[in-house]
Amino acid sequence: MARIAFPAAFAGVLLFALLPEQLLQGLGLAFTFGHDKLNHAAAFVVLAALGSLGWPEHKAKLIVLLVLTGAAIEGLQALQLIGRHPDLFDWVADCAGMAFGLTIAGWTKRLAGGLP
């Protein structure tokens, strides 16, 4: 199930991260809630947990993918044409979320392994 959900979640994160903010607001899809860093962390919690559960044998590749994805998002947000603003602390929030997502996936695997 995680192998199906991960690509959809990944595409959703990229879509919301790279669409112009005015377009998202116009569509009523701006997920600001006044907590930008929390939104970044939550997105990467989901990505890391799904990726780790779906491909447990490729955790190092997942980490590299997500670290580079977070950095690329911030780099692309620097482009004037999408009207977004890069922030190094957004990337830090992405990495923190990723670490927590990997932790959650580890707990989930241990709990599932301990069940009859």
Question: Per-residue pLDDT tens for 17-75?
Answer: 898 877 777 777 665 555 778 989 999 999 999 999 999 999 999 999 999 999 999 99
Closest Cα partner for 109 from 44, 66, 48, 49?
A: 49
Predicted pLDDT at 29: 65
The residue with greater pLDDT, 83 or 32, is 83
The CA distance from 5 to 40, in Å, is 18
| Burial group, residue 51, by CB count within 10 angstroms (0-12, 13-18, 19+) | buried
Q: Is pLDDT above 60 for 4?
A: yes
- Please answer whether residues 86 and 40 qualify as being in contact, where contact means their C-beta atoms are separated by less than 8 angstroms: no
The string of pLDDT tens digits covering residues 95-106 is 999 999 999 999
